[in-house]
Structure 1
């Protein structure tokens, strides 16, 4: 068998494209306010608790998927990981929709809690960008049935993805008192 399978070759360019395009599009859309373009849309202020909940569910499903694979329940693991990807995509859509219709909420805490908040927020954002190619590569390795490499990358991707999901909830809880 060749070092890189046909399936991996097929998806490698998509991994690179998505890993670059998703963060760029999110960054660009984050700065777009629909009202500035004459689009009369109500602010989607109900979304933050929903997408924070989705982050929490993602964290739980990631842990359940981890337990499933450790117990040899591979089909359950596969289905749970697909669910995690779907949850992450739905989070991203809601997050962008919220920020395109609503002004950002400034964090109102002071002192040490402010530094802690920004440390958590910045690490969450940086790792949410880094997790995109890791998840995609891990998923493609599983599709290609290159399970030794899948496991190696998953050992890196899992704790990062879990951190991103959990800190998404933490960031929401820390900033929620300051929503208008």
Structure 2
């Protein structure tokens, strides 16, 4: 396969995934009237997958720093698979759920005390400060992950190293911030 083909393939996948996420987040494709019973568990699953990927990325770094290429490759394949599973679960959740969850929304009774409103307002700023770069970098790191993965599997070591200098910290930020975003928004889920 030529580099031109690989770049086009990666661009196509990236554009497709971003388009699907935007369409689902804007509710342009209606999900079922009543989501399946497992739907509320998907955000927790996503956080677990993100957390696991965070740990695996660090383990992968450990192995490559110690010259164990075989384990580095195995861990990265596992991380890639779990990240792919995360993406499927994330898309499924946004397809199935019709209601958006907003940070600082009222509790299930629809009531917030003045102290809760003040605390939620301050923490909402922190939440958005984490969420916005998380979203932007999640979209931006996808092609880097795909290209890094391809270069690594092809043992194109120098090209892989150049890409991973950017891919690793961005991917790690996205996986860690994904867990933080989940923990911060979890109290406002009402399903």
Q: Same fold (TM over 0.5)?
A: yes
Q: Aligned pairs, how many?
A: 172
Counterpart CA distance in 1 for 2:179 and 2:35 is: 26
Counterparts of residues 36-115 of structure 1 (less than 5 Å) = 41-42=35-36, 44-102=39-97, 103-108=99-104, 110-115=120-125
Q: What is the alpha-carbon root mean square deviation over aligned residues?
A: 1.6
Runs of 4+ in 1 over 4 A off after TM superposition: none
TM-score, structure 1 normalization = 0.89
1:47 CA drift (Å): 1.0
Alpha-carbon distance change, 8 to 145 in structure 1, aligned in 2, over 3 angstroms: farther
1:143 CA drift (Å): 3.0
Secondary structure of the residue aligned to 2:70 is helix
1:12 CA drift (Å): 2.2
Counterparts of residues 82-161 of structure 1 (less than 5 Å) = 82-102=77-97, 103-108=99-104, 110-161=120-171
TM-score, structure 2 normalization = 0.84
Counterpart CA distance in 1 for 2:20 and 2:94 is: 13
Counterpart CA distance in 2 for 1:122 and 1:28 is: 18
Alpha-carbon distance change, 89 to 68 in structure 1, aligned in 2, over 3 angstroms: same
Secondary structure of the residue aligned to 1:107 is coil
**Unaligned 5+ runs, structure 2:** 105-118
**Unaligned 5+ runs, structure 1:** 1-5
Asked if residue 34 in structure 1 is aligned to residue 34 in structure 2, the reply is: no
Q: Which residue of 1 aligns with 2:184?
A: 174
